[in-house]
Amino acid sequence: MNDMITFYINLQCKLISRKLKRLGVNPVLGVVLFSIAFILFSFMLFYKMEISAYVYTGIAVVSIFSINSSQRLGFLKEICGHTLWKIRLLENIAVAIPFCLFLLYQTAYVFSLVIFLFSIILAFTPIMRQHSVRLPTPYFHRPFEFIIGFRKYLLLVLFSLFLMLMAYKSDNMNLGLFSIVIHFGIILSYLGFLEPSNYITIYNKSSKGFLIEKIKTTILYTSVSIFPTAVIQLITFPTSAIPLLFIILIGLLILIYFLICKYSNYPDVMSLPHTILFITSIFLPILLFYTVPLYWKKSRQKINHLLQ
Amino acid sequence: MIEIKNLSKSYGANKVLKGINITFNPGHIYGIVGVNGAGKTTLFHCIAGLEDFLGKIETGSKNLHQETAFLSTNPYFLDRLTGREYLQFICHAQGIESPNFDTRNIFQLPLDEYASQYSTGMKKKLALLGVLLQKKNNFILDEPFNGVDIQSNLVITEIIQKLKQTGKTTLISSHIFSTLSELCDSILLLENGAFSRIVDKLEFKSLEQEMKSTVLGNDIDLLELDY
């Protein structure tokens, strides 16, 4: 069976390497960059926030959960049977260890232990089949990205609400604003889902009409999502009205910009160079004069191809 | 042989299987039919050891998975995994020596391409090759003909008949009645979480007629297709 584990580790390395290549980045460089980004992010989080250990633990738990999807585990169980727990244990610990080590470095021993134990316990829990729970959402039927995203990232949504609660309890205005920024990040991940082509061809619209429809529903449902936390923030910290409005406005503009970019490479995901250009243009808005018309044109071309 | 005693399975308050008792004998092909959501896949998952359940299933081994190979309705493959790597993974997991996959590739699949990018039928055929590699005594094939081309359909039919000849226990679910009636020794109708009918070859025709009259009725008129 050790042979199986060795084979599986090698296989996973190959799959990660292929995914990085698909994003247009050298695998070795990708791993190095990712490691540096992880360390920088960890230091930044602990430098900026008072309750960073809680936030960090939350991120670790969500990361461990993300490799425990029922579909993926179902596939592995069909192949590995009762020895699946070995793979689950190995993978969960592999994801948990960087978080645990950093928490140990920050002398947050209890949090480190909690993450480590969680990764072990999860390896022995039964697979949660998707059809066992039908989760209601606050959205109606139209924007499937929101419905799917809400169900998929519910833990993250709850986490952002938890941050808002902590902001209220610790009288920390910045933390409240941060929780809203996190919520925008979660919605960005909803929109990151690339739908199959039949979800586009069902529209009886031009490419322009399709994109405008997407933008309208994104604005509407983002507002619905953000509304409760924004109201709590306003009531608790009335002086934060201007930064709050600024965050909402910028957040909506980034989501719209992302939507326009998303379809420019359809049916493929945005390549790494495109992603870098996307992020750079957010920090250097002058670039938007070049990128927005470019992505708009490219997206329309891609969608036109399907809607014709 | 698969012996099922008092098998029950629930998802929350939803009781999908309600105390099933049945024995599936070696060298026989059983067809399981029932409406969508009747619990066929759940039953298969339980027998293959992929789901927890109440009751007892005996397959001649302590571990269900050791004796039973399962072909899923919609086989899922890890992103960026090639067909060949999938088959190699199965061999390593089952502790069997990897055969020459190219000579075994009777469906002429592009084994060095990503399995997740295969068509529905190709995915099914790759998963079937994986199932057959496992050298088990019980085979559960959940809609094996789904999305498969006509040539491969004939090959799969032959494979299933060969399994019967070599004394394997085979369970198939399919929504194509003619295929089931051609292949199976018995057809079992799963309704409301239990087998409501078990029909042998001689009665297949009457079961089909009965199902047609029950299912069709006047429901098609509700679709208002005469616009």
Contacts with B125 (C-beta within 8 Å, 6 or more apart), sequence order: B107, B109, B148, B152
| Residue from A278, A294, A146, A262 nearest A194 by CA | A262
Determine which of B68, B80, B133 to mutate to test the interface with A (most A C-beta atoms within 10 Å): B80
Query: How many A×B Cβ pairs under 8 Å?
Result: 59
Strand, coil or helix: what is A193?
Answer: coil
Q: Are B152 and B11 in contact (CB under 8 A)?
A: no
Chain B residues closer than 8 Å to A27 by CB: none
Record: contact A75-B80, CB cut-off 8 A: no
- Give residue A129's pLDDT band: very low, low, confident or very high (50, 70, 90): low
pLDDT computed for residue A131 by the predictor: 55
Could you please report the per-residue DSSP string of A79-124? HHGGGHHHHHHHHHHHHHHHHHHHHHHTT-HHHHHHHHHHHHHHHT
Is the pLDDT assigned to residue A24 strictly greater than 90?
A: no
Q: Which residue has the tokens 């978080």?
A: A99
DSSP A131: G
| Residue from B137, B146, B150 nearest B176 by CA | B146
Determine which of A79, A85, A130 to mutate to test the interface with B (most B C-beta atoms within 10 Å): A79
Q: What is the mean pLDDT of residues A277-296?
A: 88
- Could you list the pLDDT tens digit for every one of the 227 residues in chain B? 899 999 999 887 888 999 999 999 999 999 999 888 889 999 999 998 888 899 999 887 767 778 899 999 889 898 889 999 999 999 988 888 889 999 999 999 999 999 988 999 999 999 999 999 988 999 999 999 988 898 999 999 999 999 999 999 999 998 888 889 989 999 999 988 999 889 998 888 888 887 777 666 667 777 777 77
Q: Which residue has the tokens 């379809």?
A: A263
The Cα–Cα gap between A96 and A56 comes to 11
- Give residue A78's pLDDT band: very low, low, confident or very high (50, 70, 90): confident
Among chain A residues, CA nearest to B77: A75
Q: Are A126 and A119 in contact (CB under 8 A)?
A: no
Record: contact A72-B93, CB cut-off 8 A: no
Q: What are phi and psi of B15, to 5 degrees?
A: -85, 110
CA distance between the termini of chain B? 53
Strand, coil or helix: what is A50?
Answer: coil
Determine which of B43, B50, B88, B131 to mutate to test the interface with A (most A C-beta atoms within 10 Å): B50
The residue with greater pLDDT, A50 or B86, is: B86
Q: Are B42 and B9 in contact (CB under 8 A)?
A: yes
The Cα–Cα gap between B31 and B172 comes to 5
Burial class (CB within 10 angstroms; exposed 0-12, middle 13-18, buried 19+) of A284: exposed
Question: Which strands, in side-by-side order, build the sheet including B138-142?
Answer: B68-71, B138-142, B169-173, B29-33, B186-191, B194-200
Q: ∠ CA A215-A219-A224 to the nearest 5 degrees?
A: 145
Burial class (CB within 10 angstroms; exposed 0-12, middle 13-18, buried 19+) of A275: middle
Secondary structure of chain B as H, E, C letters: CEEEEEEEEEECCEEEEEEEEEEECCCCEEEEECCCCCCHHHHHHHHCCCCCCEEEEECCCCCHHHHEEEECCCCCCCCCCEHHHHHHHHHHHHCCCCCCHHHHCCCCCCCCCEHHHCCHHHHHHHHHHHHHHCCCCEEEEECCCCCCCHHHHHHHHHHHHHHHHCCCEEEEECCCHHHHHHHCCEEEEEECCEEEEEEEHHHHHHHHHHHHHHHHCCHHHHHCCCC
Min CA distance, A152 vs chain B (Å)? Answer: 18
Q: Hey, which residues 110-139 in chain B have their CB within 8 Å of chain A?
A: 130
- Give residue A12's pLDDT band: very low, low, confident or very high (50, 70, 90): very high
Using only C-alpha atoms, what is the Rg of chain B? 18
Lowest-pLDDT range, A133-137, A147-151, A251-255, B79-83? A133-137
Q: What is the mean pLDDT of residues A50-70?
A: 86
| pLDDT averaged over every residue in chain A | 87
Is the pLDDT assigned to residue A143 strictly greater than 70?
A: no
Which of B12, B66, B89 is facing A79, going by the closest CB pair? B89
pLDDT computed for residue B37 by the predictor: 83
How far does CA A264 lie from the centroid of its chain?
20
pLDDT computed for residue A266 by the predictor: 84
Record: contact A8-B89, CB cut-off 8 A: yes
How far does CA B148 lie from the centroid of its chain?
14
Lowest-pLDDT range, A141-155, A159-173, B213-227? B213-227
pLDDT computed for residue A215 by the predictor: 92
Record: contact B76-A3, CB cut-off 8 A: no
How far does CA B22 lie from the centroid of its chain?
17
Chain B residues closer than 8 Å to A22 by CB: 80
Runs of H (alpha helix) within A195-271: 198-201, 207-236, 241-262
Highest mean pLDDT among A50-54, A114-118, B45-49: A114-118
Burial class (CB within 10 angstroms; exposed 0-12, middle 13-18, buried 19+) of A289: exposed
DSSP A126: P
Burial class (CB within 10 angstroms; exposed 0-12, middle 13-18, buried 19+) of B132: middle
Tell me the domains of chain B and their CATH numbers: 2-75+137-218 (3.40.50.300)
Contacts with B102 (C-beta within 8 Å, 6 or more apart), sequence order: B111
pLDDT computed for residue A90 by the predictor: 94
Highest mean pLDDT among A208-212, A281-285, B91-95: A208-212
Among chain B residues, CA nearest to A16: B80
The residue with greater pLDDT, B146 or A102, is: A102
Q: Are B155 and B132 in contact (CB under 8 A)?
A: no
Q: Helix A109-123 and helix A52-66: axis angle, to 10°?
A: 20
DSSP A222: H
Neighbours of A71 (CB within 10 A): 12
DSSP A268: S
pLDDT computed for residue B217 by the predictor: 63
Record: contact A18-B90, CB cut-off 8 A: no
Contacts with A25 (C-beta within 8 Å, 6 or more apart), sequence order: A33, A272
